[in-house]
Amino acid sequence: MAKSAVKSKKPASARKTTEKNSAAGSGFQSSTLAPVQRQTLEFLRNFLAENGYGPTLKNIAEHIGVKSLSTAHFHLERLETKGFIRRGDDGMIELVDISPPQLGPSSVPLVGTIAAGHPIEAIENTTMIEIPGSMIDSRGEVYCLEVSGDSMIDAHICDGDIVVIKKQEYADNGQIVVALLEDGTATLKTYRKLKGGKVMLIPANASMSPMTLDEVSVQGKLIGVIRELQ
């Protein structure tokens, strides 16, 4: 397979960001990427800066931890579709500087990544995305998180989804919440207060067990899920 060369170029006019479809039936605008796509893009930038030429598909696959060159090629296609790179017929790839999207009054912060699996540290990388206005009307402060993991898969919350969260410090039994644990890690789970004061955080995945904890700090409750359609 021929090597793919990479170069950086700022176009005369930045491309529009790709629209995504949500489970609520409306799109949102964002320059955000799935974690592996951010990893791929950052690798392209760093490799070019350090070497003066672009990586091969094999280089990319090794860096993101996959064996298939077609998987690396897929992520390059996603970067192109979202406007972060351009690919020429000669195999050259241009890195594109994207202007911030023009966002409306229903834009909210995407503040990081939340675990829907084993707890992980929240990764804060604040940007703004526009979501359906119906998700924020009269709901108070709202923010978004990108989901990592599949412990909430049976609740139709998948790895890579964007969850819309209403900020609050309390929850009723049965609500899906962002819970901050005593060790500073955060997770997305169904909340249940037990007799005696303990809290159970319940996954929506039959292969995973609930966590019973002495105390958790509720950071907000789920009010919407937004999914990019491949």
Task: Kindly write down the DSSP assignment for every residue of the chain, as one continuous string.
Answer: -PPPPEEE---SSPPPPPEEEBTTS-EEE-----HHHHHHHHHHHHHHHHHSSPPPHHHHHHHHT-S-HHHHHHHHHHHHHTTSEEE-TTS-EEE-PPPPP---TTEEEEEEEEESSS-B--EEEEEEEE--GGGTTTS-SEEEEEEESSTTGGGT--TTPEEEEE--S---TT-EEEEE-TTS-EEEEEEEEPTTS-EEEE-S-TTS--EEES--EEEEEEEEEE----
**Domain edge (last residue) among 95, 122, 154:** 95
Considering the domain architecture, whether residues 113 and 173 belong to the same structural domain is answered as yes
For the cut 90, the answer to whether the pLDDT of residue 72 exceeds it is no
Considering the domain architecture, whether residues 121 and 90 belong to the same structural domain is answered as no
For the cut 50, the answer to whether the pLDDT of residue 9 exceeds it is no
Residue 101 lies in a domain: no
Q: Is 20 a catalytic residue?
A: no
pLDDT of residue 24: 38
Mean pLDDT, residues 47-69: 84
Q: What is the number of domains present in the chain?
A: 2
pTM for the whole structure: 0.59
**Domain edge (last residue) among 68, 95, 122:** 95
Q: Is 198 a catalytic residue?
A: no
Q: What is the CATH number of the domain that holds 61?
A: 1.10.10.10
Q: Which of 20, 82, 166, 189 is catalytic?
A: 189
Residue 100 lies in a domain: no
Q: What is the CATH number of the domain that holds 139?
A: 2.10.109.10
Considering the domain architecture, whether residues 116 and 149 belong to the same structural domain is answered as yes
pLDDT of residue 4: 39
- pLDDT-above-70 percentage for the chain: 73
For residue 120, what pLDDT band results from cuts at 50, 70 and 90?
very low
Residue 1 lies in a domain: no
Identify the domain containing residue 22 by its residue range: 6-95
Q: Which of 31, 82, 151, 166 is catalytic?
A: 151
For residue 30, what pLDDT band results from cuts at 50, 70 and 90?
very low
Considering the domain architecture, whether residues 222 and 117 belong to the same structural domain is answered as yes
Considering the domain architecture, whether residues 113 and 217 belong to the same structural domain is answered as yes
Considering the domain architecture, whether residues 53 and 112 belong to the same structural domain is answered as no
Considering the domain architecture, whether residues 122 and 195 belong to the same structural domain is answered as yes
Considering the domain architecture, whether residues 155 and 49 belong to the same structural domain is answered as no
pLDDT of residue 178: 94
pLDDT of residue 175: 97
DSSP states of 24-88 = TS-EEE-----HHHHHHHHHHHHHHHHHSSPPPHHHHHHHHT-S-HHHHHHHHHHHHHTTSEEE-
Residue 220 lies in a domain: yes
Task: Look over the chain and give the mean of its residue pLDDT values, rounded to a whole number.
Answer: 75
pLDDT of residue 104: 56
Q: Tell me how far apart the alpha carbons of residues 138 and 210 are, in angstroms, rounded to a whole number.
A: 33
Q: What is the pLDDT of residues 179-225, one digit of tens each?
A: 988 888 889 999 999 988 899 999 999 999 999 999 899 999 999 99
Considering the domain architecture, whether residues 76 and 153 belong to the same structural domain is answered as no
Considering the domain architecture, whether residues 122 and 41 belong to the same structural domain is answered as no
Q: What is the pLDDT of residues 135-178, one digit of tens each?
A: 776 657 888 888 888 999 999 999 888 899 998 999 999 999 99
**Domain edge (last residue) among 95, 120, 142:** 95
For the cut 60, the answer to whether the pLDDT of residue 63 exceeds it is yes
Considering the domain architecture, whether residues 140 and 172 belong to the same structural domain is answered as yes
Considering the domain architecture, whether residues 207 and 158 belong to the same structural domain is answered as yes
Mean pLDDT, residues 42-64: 85
Q: What is the pLDDT of residues 98-107, one digit of tens each?
A: 555 555 557 7
